[in-house]
Amino acid sequence: MLNENTMKLMPTLLAAAALALSFTASAQEAAIRKTLAERIPQMENIDEVRSTAMPGLYEVRIGTDLFYTDAKGNYVIQGELIDTKARRNLTEDRINKLTAVDFSALPLKDAFTIVRGDGKRKVAVFEDPNCGYCKRFERDLQNVDNITVYLFLYPILSPDSAEKSRNIWCAKDRAATWHDLMLRDKTPNTASCDTSAVQRNLAFGKKYKITGTPTLIFANGSRVPGAINAQDVEKRLAEAGSN
């Protein structure tokens, strides 16, 4: 049984224990940072060190790149951490959180819009004009009504992708030129203008690790890499609307 004096001291003891743990965690982080910076020059500027769900394993974050190390920084692992009990890829979950995109913060001025029906539902899509999966996705997307699509040209597949993106961006009717190419295989006419928006799209994609096309971002911030069919688009739009 705890006596009255011990009970009174309990908040102080708990605070002291928490403070001690905080100091220990800070010292641990400092030691890992110091060791890795000394031994691996590429790890000189570490953004964050934190413990993981696996005892003794620490996450080292540089930008949105994740590495794992032991408590002393003697070993570094580059790979994926899997929770076998929960059947979750913890590395993937963490990267998704780090690269989440606030829809309201998207640079919409660097996209062109395609509106069908009332346009109330919204989705942003990053696409390469030479992407076969994008063409399949565009055909399916024609079956989705009452939507506004913010189309970000994202030429990452080939030099020809950059040329086609320029011709689409500089066209008088970007949406029509885009659909002519993606739905009817009609090559866009040569055009020229300021294409800095396309370059900004590439920089944005690099920052948020958009590595494939199409990549969809819905109004609730959820992100889908790869082509999905009209039914799945409808489902995602409904989920975004409910949130």
Residues 65-76 pLDDT 10s? 999 999 999 999
User: What's the CA gap between 54 and 57, in Å, rounded?
Assistant: 6
Domain boundaries, the chain: 21-99, 103-241
pLDDT tens for 85-142 read 999 999 999 988 888 889 998 999 999 999 999 999 999 999 999 999 999 999 999 9
- pLDDT confidence of 5, banded at 50, 70, 90? low
User: What does the pLDDT read at residue 27?
Assistant: 83
User: What does the pLDDT read at residue 98?
Assistant: 87
User: What's the CA gap between 127 and 35, in Å, rounded?
Assistant: 42
109-139 b/e with 16+ CB inside 10 Å = b?
ebbbebeeeeeebbbbbbbbbbbeebbebbe
User: What does the pLDDT read at residue 220?
Assistant: 92
User: What's the CA gap between 20 and 190, in Å, rounded?
Assistant: 67
User: What's the CA gap between 183 and 79, in Å, rounded?
Assistant: 39
The model's pTM is 0.73
- pLDDT confidence of 42, banded at 50, 70, 90? very high
Asked if residues 130 and 164 have their Cβ atoms less than 8 Å apart, the reply is yes
pLDDT tens for 194-204 read 999 999 999 99
Strands (E), 10-110: 48-51, 58-62, 65-69, 76-77, 82-83, 88-89
User: What does the pLDDT read at residue 99?
Assistant: 82
**Quick check: helix, strand or coil at residue 172?**
coil
Share of the chain above pLDDT 70, in %: 89
User: What does the pLDDT read at residue 242?
Assistant: 77
**Quick check: helix, strand or coil at residue 30?**
helix
User: What's the CA gap between 126 and 215, in Å, rounded?
Assistant: 5
| DSSP for residue 143 | T
User: What's the CA gap between 67 and 81, in Å, rounded?
Assistant: 10
CATH number corresponding to 103-241: 3.40.30.10
Alpha helices by DSSP H, 63-210: 90-98, 132-141, 159-169, 174-184, 196-207
Topology of domain 21-99, CATH: Nuclear Transport Factor 2; Chain: A, (3.10.450)
User: What does the pLDDT read at residue 16?
Assistant: 55
